Amino acid sequence: MEKILVTGATGQVGSELTIALRNNYGPENVFAADKRPALNELSPSGPFCLLDVRDASAINQVVDANNIDAIFHLAALLSAVAEQKPQQAWDVNMNGLLNVLETCRAHRCALFFPSSIAAFGPETPSMNTPQDTIQRPSTLYGITKVSGELLCDYYHHRFGVDARGLRYPGLISSKTLPGGGTTDYAVDIFYAALKSQHYDCFLRADTQLDMMYMPDAIDAAIHLMTADSKQLKHRNAFNVTAMSFTPQQLAAEIQKHIPEFTIAYIVDPLRQAIADSWPRHMNDSAAKAEWGWQAQFDLSAMVTDMLKKITLT
């Protein structure tokens, strides 16, 4: 990778991934793009352009003008938002991906596509979820992720596009607020603990889900894209995970640092139903075997680091 484009660069993953890529490859070589203006350190740290991934011509122009050879395609509507806006979610998540894949085919760009734990469904084994297993998600977001996995595989086998991807669990960031996901509670809870010492959780206390701290998520994406392609049997949609916990367990870990913190459970039926359809813990042995994946943060280390880094404004 020499010239990189990041779509959805102002989002939870994109804002941190863009900075990491600029640190690795040089600020002038990583082009951030989103349909929203860039804030904070994203725009001053390197080139930025407004871009709607539903506009195929605009994507081609950006790639052609800047000699892009790798795209990290992060633009998408997340799970809870997608349920509220299914037609828009399909348009952004699927038509946007198809436009990016066509650009990759035309310009011989490598592609990173993030899938999700949402790509699984109620019939999927919930514990130690295999890399290759039944995928029948019950959410629109999950349907777009399964479709995206298959589309990336198709473009690799049919057109030789170097498409690679991960199935992310819930992601936890100390820098960026979440944007409409079912696992958002695992970020919101820290701000509530520091501000008011109380949090009303929208999931049941015993809802166990896979999670990952953002530094590990960023490392996984870059590590996969720089891995030897000859070692990749799956190439796309690798299970990756770092920890698996419930809201109750997360609250208990926070209470070790903030003893007065309390939590209550006011369940949101929509997000609870989504969470109940997802696995509790994924098996990421394929990622470990094929490109050496290894998480650095467990629950205790993540909580300690989050509480140190979060700032309230």
Catalytic (active-site) positions:
141
The number of beta carbons lying within 10 Å of the beta carbon of residue 36 is: 10
The whole-angstrom distance between residue 116's C-alpha and the CA centroid of its chain comes to 7
Alpha-carbon span 237 to 167, nearest angstrom: 5
Strands 209-213 and 243-245: antiparallel
Q: DSSP string of 129-169? A: E-SS-----SSHHHHHHHHHHHHHHHHHHHH---EEEEEE-
- Which tokens in the block code for residue 71? 């795209």
**In contact, 62 and 33? CB cutoff 8 Å:** yes
**In contact, 288 and 294? CB cutoff 8 Å:** yes
Nearest to 67 by CA among 160, 4, 161: 4
